[in-house]
Amino acid sequence: MRSTPTARSLPATDVHLAIRELITAHGGRVTRTRVAVIEALQASSQPMSHEELGASLAAIDVPHDRVTLYRALDWLVEQGIARRIAGSDRAWRFEVVRADSHRHAHFHCDRCGQVICLESLQPAVAVALPDGYRLDRAELVFHGACATCGEQRIAPDAASKPSASKTSASKHTANKP
């Protein structure tokens, strides 16, 4: 069986051409923003937020504004070129959809917001839906603390909340005559 080269394995000029052809094949206008967003998503080892993508485009001098970037991302998701991953911080993260229908789980750090791909965990989706229902997508996201936040062993908002022992102690001293 002959394998076809992935966008990551092609020379930069071929990657650019492949992205342009992908956009055209989906009936879209080839814009500098769409091409740059797909390139950034393909180059990233983890899903990227709107803010991260904006910084990536700014770093390579691709002019854009927030609305243009949102529209490009919405179009890529609608076309099945990219997928959204929900974060508990209410920020969407985006990743490119691979041609081989590769699926994997994600890990979301509830403290710093980082989302990483768990490539080794590829969930098999076996769902019995009622007649007439169709599954379009499924997400498996694990939540917890990343290595850095786990080492700190600090709750996300522990610094802003008084500890239970301090609260109890102040109540007890307040009630004493």
**Residue predicted with more confidence, 146 or 153:** 146
Least trusted range by pLDDT, from 8-12, 23-27, 127-131, 165-169: 165-169
Q: What is the pTM of this model?
A: 0.58
In a domain, 165, yes or no: no
Order of strands across the sheet with 82-85?
A: 48-49, 93-96, 82-85
Pair 30, 24: CB distance under 8 Å: yes
- State the pLDDT at residue 123: 55
Band of the pLDDT at 7, cuts 50, 70, 90?
A: very low
Range of the domain at 112: 7-156
In a domain, 28, yes or no: yes
Q: Is the pLDDT score of 127 beyond 70? A: no
Exposed/middle/buried for 90, CB within 10 Å: 0-12, 13-18, 19+? exposed
Domain count, the chain: 1
- State the pLDDT at residue 156: 52
pLDDT tens column, 95-115: 888 765 556 677 878 888 777
- State the pLDDT at residue 151: 77
Most confident listed range (5-9, 89-93, 136-140): 89-93
In a domain, 173, yes or no: no
- State the pLDDT at residue 88: 65
- State the pLDDT at residue 165: 39
In a domain, 163, yes or no: no
In a domain, 161, yes or no: no
- State the pLDDT at residue 171: 37
In a domain, 175, yes or no: no
Radius of gyration from C-alpha coordinates of the chain: 22
pLDDT > 90 in the chain, percent? 32
Q: Is the pLDDT score of 79 beyond 60? A: yes
In a domain, 59, yes or no: yes
CATH number at residue 15: 1.10.10.10
In a domain, 177, yes or no: no
